[in-house]
Every structure is written in C-alpha cells, then in structure tokens.
Amino acid sequence: MNIVVCGKVIPASSVTIEIDSNTKRMVRKGVTHELDPAAASAVEEGLRLTEKHGGTVVLITMGISDVTIGIRNALAMGASSAVHILDDAVAGSDTLGTAKLLAAAIKKQPFDLVICATESSDSYSGIVPGQIAHLLGVPPVTFAKEIAIDGSKITIKRQSESGYDIVESMLPALVAVSSGINEPRYPQLKGIMAAKKKEIKVYTAADLGLATDQVGEKGAREKVLTIGRPPKRQAGKVVTDEGEGGKQIADFLAEIKVI
C-alpha cells in the first residue's frame, strides 16, 4: 500500500513566536523547528498501516529550508522518502493555496491513502485536508481516532460530539487523524543513520504546475489585516498554599457570591 502523509514542520514548542509586522506572518526563518506533533501522529499511523499491510510511507511537506530537521525526523521514524515544497513564492499561502500545492505534489506519487493531521499545531484552521481531498477527487474521511483497512475498504472511528461514528469508504481516500490517535515512536539510532541516506525531492510551485499568482501571498484569498497580542486578562491574586489554600478559595467564592 502506498501511503502519502502530509505534515507540517513548525517552530519548536520552546520557541517564543514573533510576528513580522510587515508581512504579518510568523517569523519562521532562523528559529528551531520540529516535526509538528500532529504530523508525527500522521506519520506514525502511516507506518503502523504499512507494517500491517505492506507498502511505504512518503512524507510531503511545505516550508522554508529550516524545516529539513523535521523531515529528517519523519524519515528516521521510518518514512521511506520525502517531498519538500520549497519556494519563496509559496510564502504567505492561505489554506487553499497550501492545499493546491500539496495536492499537486501528491499527484506526482502513486497513492492508495493520504493521511493528514486534522490540523497543525501552529495555525489550527483544520480545513486543508478536506480541500486536498476535493482537489484529488478522493473521499474525505476525517477526524479519525482509529483506522482499519480491509482490502480496498477503510473504516474509521470518527470523533463526534456525542461519542464516535463508524464511517466507511473505499480507497483511494484521504484520512485526517485526530490528535491522540497514537503515541508517535521516537527515532532509533539506526533509523537516524538510515534517514541521512533517504531521498528528499524538492519541488517549486512551477515544478508542480502552479502559477505564482495561484499560490503564496499573491494567490491568497484570505488576507490578514491586523495582528497583535490580545488584550491580557487582568490577572488576579495568586497566593501560595500554606495549609489554608482551600479555605482561601472558599473565601474568594464567598466574595463572588458563589457560596
């Protein structure tokens, strides 16, 4: 089974995010990057499926050259190769621009299943997987918390407001996995060594047949007008518990007339 995983490499959780006031975008250049934990879960799910059913996992990502470290991490986990969409012209792509680029790159690979994280941990829009599915013309099977494949049929447990739904579709399909679907493996030394020799194909927008006015800042339908820190909530009183902490909270509850 040929599995393509779309995942993002994002500024590490330890990085304090800065915003460039000119572009109104997150500053990504020169900051430490890591494979998005949500993407790591998507890679892990792909690897588990190929361990069961055979086949390979190819990671596709888009980003500046700083993201290579995260691509290597996915390769060290066990992905067999990677595709990196690397092009200054794609900076500032909105969700649809991103989906067009990823879909075009996926089309260059043979695939039975595309796995995406439901949403990235740095922008949370959550609609890119469904857009990619439409552009590829495959069924969108979303919010999966468990995946089973039987022949050419995929069955998932789909997260719902009241529990979960059993949802079924035929391959090829796109599945978006929810956070917590698995615990991604840590790369082992052997995997890290092997990753150094694995291929990372690099594509530009032009390689993917996309004009630069369709993607990037120019092609974006969504424009950020202003960006800034939200007004901070006025922090209240903080006390250190010296044996009376619970009682002090009760006093506060009495003050706000809850008890």
Minimum distance, C-beta of residue 58 to other proteins, in the bound complex (Å): 22
Look at residues 191, 223, 218, 215 and name the one whose alpha carbon lies nearest to residue 85.
215
Output phi, psi for 248, to 5 deg: -65, -35
Of these, 131, 144, 149, 208, which contacts other proteins (CB under 8 A)?
131
DSSP β-ladder status, 2-6 and 113-117: parallel
By CB under 8 A, what part of segment 153-172 binds other proteins?
155, 157-170
93 binds other proteins (CB under 8 A): no
Q: Which is nearer to other proteins, 151 or 230 (CB)?
A: 230
- Pick the closer one to other proteins by CB: 72 or 158: 158
- Near other proteins in 217-246, by CB under 8 A: 220-230, 232-233, 235-241, 244-246
Q: Which of 1, 2, 19, 201 binds other proteins (CB under 8 A)?
A: 19
For residue 224, the minimal CB distance to other proteins (Å) is 5
User: How many Å apart are CA 155 and CA 158, to the nearest integer?
Assistant: 9
Tell me how far, at minimum, the Cβ of 59 lies from other proteins, in Å: 21
**Residue 39: both structure tokens together:** 């993407």
* Contact with other proteins (CB under 8 A) among 57, 128, 190, 202: 128
For other proteins, give the closer residue by CB, 5 or 136: 136
The residue behind tokens 């630069």 is 212
Cα distance between residue 255 and residue 259, in whole Å? 8
Q: Does 212 bind other proteins (CB under 8 A)?
A: no
Q: DSSP per residue over 51-90, as a string?
A: HHH--EEEEEEE--GGGHHHHHHHHHHT-SEEEEE--GGG
Give, as ranges, the residues between 31 and 70 that touch other proteins (CB under 8 A): none
Task: Give residues 179-208 in contact with other proteins (rule: CB under 8 A).
Answer: 179-180
- What are the b/e assignments for 139-152, b being 16+ CB within 10 Å? bbbbbbbbbebeee
